[in-house]
């Protein structure tokens, strides 16, 4: 195997000069650079990525810490991060931290040990001082960690307002909100948007916690509809939650959207596959991942970034679980 020493010998320069050329650091005369490039070509020398990592303290790797890749919100996000990373010559280390602070700490350690160039954190449990001390460029995705850590989120509150308004305008008189986990900022913001609209519109409302799990949502909805049989609209805090509600309603022999209308949140692909297909607030999931990756790579490469808070728009996608205009037939 050709080594950096062979290249130096062939080019009649020092090893340090070859190293400077490879890493584009420090002064090298034009003549020496040309000799090195010619030697690299002739000897078919491929600089060892690991040796360069050690020299540059850069591995051209990005860590992506998600709660759980099997939650259907995250594969598209991970795909976007990986696509952008690939374009810029970075690879992605995938970490599932299960919203477990011990796992997150362990990953932060492991990723630093491997000299990842930066980390994208989604929805983590770590305090901002811990994140800060890591001393690695970071971007927060789908949550805010601290003012000085660049952040990519979507308009959760505005999206929830759109969802609730759509239910009101489609004729709902008694709307339930199946909220996400308490303390999770995205879930709290969606609740806030829901409250804003029901209070302004003077429709009856009820809020219950259904977290983001399908089975839990099915149980909670069944219980809720027994207690309040006149509920005619449901705004669910995620599409998976909405799927659970749809299942419960169908089992109770009620019809969607004739008896009860439903709006979800997320815009994951399977919402379209449901029968009836799910009206939802779509987050620009791919764009969120891509924006976070581009932002992180700019930070890593010490390029200027335009602002540190990126709030991407959500959209109302009207399908078959509501009676509003534009519903697909």
Binding site for its own copies (CB under 8 A): 46, 48-51, 53-54, 59, 61, 64, 68-70, 72, 74-76, 78-79, 82-83, 91-96, 110-111, 113-115, 214, 240, 243-244, 246-247, 250, 269-270, 272-275, 277
Helix (H, G, I), strand (E, B) or coil at 232: coil
Among residues 43 and 69, whose Cβ is nearest to its own copies?
69
Q: Which of 132, 130, 180 is nearest to 159 (CA)?
A: 180
Among residues 69 and 134, whose Cβ is nearest to its own copies?
69
Among residues 121 and 240, whose Cβ is nearest to its own copies?
240
Cβ atoms within 10 Å, residue 327: 17
> What's the CA gap between 243 and 146, in Å, rounded?
33
Among residues 180 and 244, whose Cβ is nearest to its own copies?
244
Contacts 24+ apart (CB under 8 A), 50-55: 51/4, 52/22, 52/23, 53/115, 55/19, 55/23
Smallest separation (angstroms) from its own copies to the CB of 47? 9
Q: Do the beta carbons of residue 4 and residue 18 sit within 8 Å?
A: yes
Q: Is 49 exposed, middle or buried (0-12, 13-18, 19+ CB in 10 A)?
A: exposed
Among residues 93 and 219, whose Cβ is nearest to its own copies?
93
Q: Do the beta carbons of residue 73 and residue 268 sit within 8 Å?
A: yes
Tell me the pairing of strands 138-141 and 118-122: parallel
Among residues 1 and 202, whose Cβ is nearest to its own copies?
1
Stated length of the chain? 329
Among residues 94 and 146, whose Cβ is nearest to its own copies?
94
Q: Which two tokens stand for residue 282?
A: 């779509």
H-run or E-run covering 163: helix 156-169
């Amino acid at each position: 195997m050709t080594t950096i020493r062979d290249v130096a010998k062939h080019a009649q320069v020092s090893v340090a000069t070859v190293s400077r050329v490879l890493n584009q650091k420090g002064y090298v005369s034009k003549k020496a650079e040309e000799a090195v490039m010619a030697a690299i070509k002739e000897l078919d020398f491929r600089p060892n990525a690991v040796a360069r990592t050690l020299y540059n303290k850069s591995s051209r790797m990005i860590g992506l810490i998600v709660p759980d890749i099997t939650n259907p919100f995250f594969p598209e996000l991970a795909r976007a991060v990986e696509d952008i990373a690939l374009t810029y010559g970075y690879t992605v280390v995938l970490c599932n931290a299960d919203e477990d602070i011990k796992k997150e700490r362990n990953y932060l350690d492991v990723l630093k040990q491997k000299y990842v160039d930066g980390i994208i954190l989604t929805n983590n449990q770590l305090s901002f001082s811990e994140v800060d001390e890591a001393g690695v460029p970071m971007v927060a995705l789908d949550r805010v960690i601290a003012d000085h850590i660049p952040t990519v989120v979507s308009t959760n509150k505005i999206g929830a307002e759109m969802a609730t308004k759509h239910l009101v305008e489609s004729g709902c008189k008694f709307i339930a909100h199946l909220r996400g986990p308490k303390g999770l900022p995205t879930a709290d913001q969606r609740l806030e948007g829901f409250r804003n609209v029901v209070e302004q519109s003077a429709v009856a409302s009820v809020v219950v916690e259904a977290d983001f799990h399908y089975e839990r949502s099915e149980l909670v909805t069944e219980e809720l509809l027994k207690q309040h049989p006149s509920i005619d609209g449901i705004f669910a805090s995620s599409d998976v939650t909405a799927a659970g509600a749809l299942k419960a309603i169908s089992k109770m022999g009620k019809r969607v959207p004739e008896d009860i209308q439903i709006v979800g949140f997320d815009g994951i692909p399977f919402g379209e596959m449901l029968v009836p297909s799910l009206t939802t607030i779509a987050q620009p999931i791919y764009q969120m991942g891509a924006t976070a990756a581009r932002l992180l790579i700019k930070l890593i490469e010490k390029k200027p970034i335009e602002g540190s808070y990126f709030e991407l728009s959500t959209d109302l996608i009207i399908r078959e679980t509501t009676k509003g205009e534009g519903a697909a037939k």
